[in-house]
Amino acid sequence: SEVEQFNGKVVFDGIIECAKQALENDIPIVLGNDVGCPWITQYDYWRELYYFHKYVGVSNAYAIYCATLQAARMAGIDDETGSIEVGKSADMIVTKDNPLDDLLALRHIEFVIMRGNRIAHPTNKINEQVKTELDKFL
């Protein structure tokens, strides 16, 4: 609705401004999403990284860092996860293209490794209305 779009823009603009100010003041940033909101989907987490890069102006590498190792550090679990190292959880995604070149590569997952299991070409039910609306911001 118009009201939801207006409110969404207020939040979106506020998040962008807040992130820019945090960076300017050396405040750590962690990327995440509000999975309980109706327009947020678990399978679209890549959007958080892409929007952070596009609207805040960070590098692709920094966006990935804020969603992985930085997030693990801030949660106090970086000794277990957040980077690919011996002794850490080996959960990860593999994409055909390099997300360091283009974060949209995260949209197309070739396989997932989770708890030692390989899941090839994972699929999920896509909410086309959400996809269409959110793609306008790409």
Tell me whether residue 41 is in a domain.
yes
Tell me whether residue 22 is in a domain.
yes
- The 3-class secondary structure across 82-115, one letter per residue, is CCCCCCCCCCEEEECCCCCCCHHHHHCEEEEEEC
Pick from 114, 108, 84, 88: which is nearest to 96 by CA?
108
Tell me whether residue 46 is in a domain.
yes
Q: What is the CATH number of the domain that holds 20?
A: 1.20.58
Residue 68 is which amino acid?
A: T
| DSSP-based three-state secondary structure for 67 | helix
Pick from 12, 10, 3: which is nearest to 136 by CA?
12
Tell me whether residue 99 is in a domain.
no
Based on the number of CB atoms within 10 Å of its own CB, is 47 exposed (0-12), middle (13-18) or buried (19 or more)? buried
Domain of 72?
A: 2-83+125-135
Other C-beta atoms closer than 10 Å to the C-beta of 8 total 13
pLDDT value at residue 137: 84
CA contacts within 13 A on the Cβ side of 114: 6
pLDDT value at residue 39: 64
Tell me whether residue 116 is in a domain.
no
Could you read off the pLDDT of 1-45 as tens digits, one per residue? 888 889 888 988 999 999 999 999 999 999 987 766 666 677 788
Tell me whether residue 44 is in a domain.
yes
Q: What is the pTM of this model?
A: 0.85
**Structural domain total, the chain:** 1
Tell me whether residue 56 is in a domain.
yes
Could you read off the pLDDT of 68-124 as tens digits, one per residue? 999 999 999 999 999 989 988 878 999 999 999 999 999 999 999 987 889 999 888
